[in-house]
Chain A
Amino acid sequence: MSDATTTPQTGNSKTLLLFALVAVLFIGTGFVQSWNTALTIFNMGLISAIMALGVNMQWGYAGLFNVGVMGFVALGGLAAVLVSSDPVPEAWAAGGPSVLLGLVLGAMTIVAAILTYTKLPAGRLRALAVLVVLIGGFAIFRTVFDPAVEAVEAVDPASTGFLGGLGLPVILAWPMGGVLAAGAAWIIGKTALGLRSDYLAIATLGIAEIIIAVLKNEDWLARGVKNVTGIPRPVPYEVDLQANEAFVNAFSDPVTASTITVKLAYAGLFILFLIALIWLSEKAWNSPWGRMMRAIRDNEVSASAMGKDVKARHLQIFILGSAVCGLAGAMMTTLDSQLVPGTYQPLRFTFLIWVMVIVGGSGNNWGAVLGGFLIWWLWVQVEPMGLMLMQGLTYFMEPGSPLSEHLLDSAAHMRLLTMGLILLLVLRFSPRGLIPER
């Protein structure tokens, strides 16, 4: 699908120019606002870029429409808690094994139901048997699970009240987040792939809401809406740096220097992961496997006529892309040092990532990364810009009048409008994005 008039050379220089432009935005933020702010936005931009890479795998490589990004990101966050927070021995003693047993029983019920369904001949008997297995299994699951959960959640609910994690280094949580997200993607993919694209969209939208509901309500797992805070860091703490003699002597303003050092350390880690992911994605894109994926995307019928297993390949890339989103989610929770299920909003974590991919250029890994940085910067900066606009608008109004108050209060919602407008404009006038597919 390469454009005949643009040689790869001019394409590359355009890419470089766009990245330079985004770099200017971030450096400008550093000069105008503060380097601390610029780095905060940049770190989240790195994570957004990874999420956009994941969505681009599904959409750009295979044309799969996943609107459950939020759920996979949240699963990554859960992994950060489960891997890195310290275990709570009292809670484990109170009911840990029974909780696990309950979960195993629940899973066995589903497996048994599937087995009953596949082994028995079709008919009323089979439907009845499956129903009996499901209801019986559910009853057993609840009798084992409920008292155990109650016992666990009763253990010092103000500070713990959950089973805790494994107490391992938090870096291990990042791949773990990918694995958790991949598991969820497998379940969704198995059911909704192979049907029309809208069904996958609705199914992913649903699973995302359910994952958030689980995180909010299952206190034994990750404390629900009581949030898990103080997740260990992979980088040094500011207070430790400020207590370090050599560090304090090296800088004139050790407090600012310590926060910037911590942020730079995070940025370094994230950049390593981002580079590795881009490298892998580019390798995959240029490999025979990548060509096969694009062939399937562009014409499923002829690809399957060539002997490609379309459904299996779709499942594969769906799982891979979701795993990347899970990885990014774990990184984000590590950066925040806390898991707050209430903050997961589909507009922010699903649809914004989509804007990044579409604007950046679907089907181009560099485009997705660029979109991640650019749109995240805009998302953060549109709010103060909106406020400035509103202040300008209300400048001539009577201060404190209801209308001007309302306008100032509503400035925060400008970012939704702006994002929608950007998405529609790009989709209409530059549907292939800023850095189009090669």
Chain B
Amino acid sequence: MPASPRAEAAARARRFWPWLLLAPGLLWLLGLYLLPLLGLVPLSLSEPLSRFGLETVFRGRLATYLEVLQAYGPILWRSFGYAASATAIGLLLAYPLAFAIRFRGGRWQPLLIGLVVLPSLTSYLVRAIAWTSLLGDNGPVLALLQSLDLTAAFNGLGLLRDGRLLNTPTAVILGLLTNQLPFLVLPLVLAMERIQPCLLEAAADLHAGAWRRFTQVVWPLSRPGLAAGILLGLIPAAGDVVNPLFLGGPNERMVANTIDNLLLVQLQAPRAAALTLVLMALVTLAVLVQLRGRGLDGLPLP
């Protein structure tokens, strides 16, 4: 039976609409993300014609990648190490926080969520600079540690270096942690929103203690939130520029600082491009491992 022209038009429109809605986002991604990123591929395989000129000549030079990995492998390793440490500590803080907001927050819940997000309303640059005052040699944090006589112990644990906090790995990880905490807490809260309190009550009725209620009910049901949190927290942290710059020293540089330096100071665009692509590849790998074919639907992304 031939469809009426009206139904046909409606069907066309139905097919057409999703694309129209997708178009701005897709064009944005294509023009401002994918194309520039792909443009780095030939650049990374090129050599500059002169030291200060803009022209590069394509040589298919894969050796650049080898050199970059050799020279900056430790920095890449360090970057993911710092990011992973910050995420791990962040999760230790985020789980109880999210749990409390979800199950004990009551009518204060919106306010508590607001408080978690509040620091993000300040520019991350301003926050990093503020940290330099707090963590400085004459700052309040060290003064507190000193008054509690904890300096030697913290030094022994490697948290302080020569009795100072600023320009140490601890400070960088703290900075990264501050940046990503909201991104860890919010997905966890959302994931826990889906856990019915009656499940916890049922577990309690079955004589499950607090720990078993957590490990057997909350943990498995909140894992999608965990995955989303890691995705949103770990990846930006691995590519952070500001925290290592202000809170770290030369021994705490991260890979984005190196890319910045290669491009803007040493004027070695092909090497910078190669390192960027290596970083992107590693990040993509991390995302794939995270998602493991599950897709995004399971993730309570905020």
User: Is the pairing of A and B real?
Assistant: no
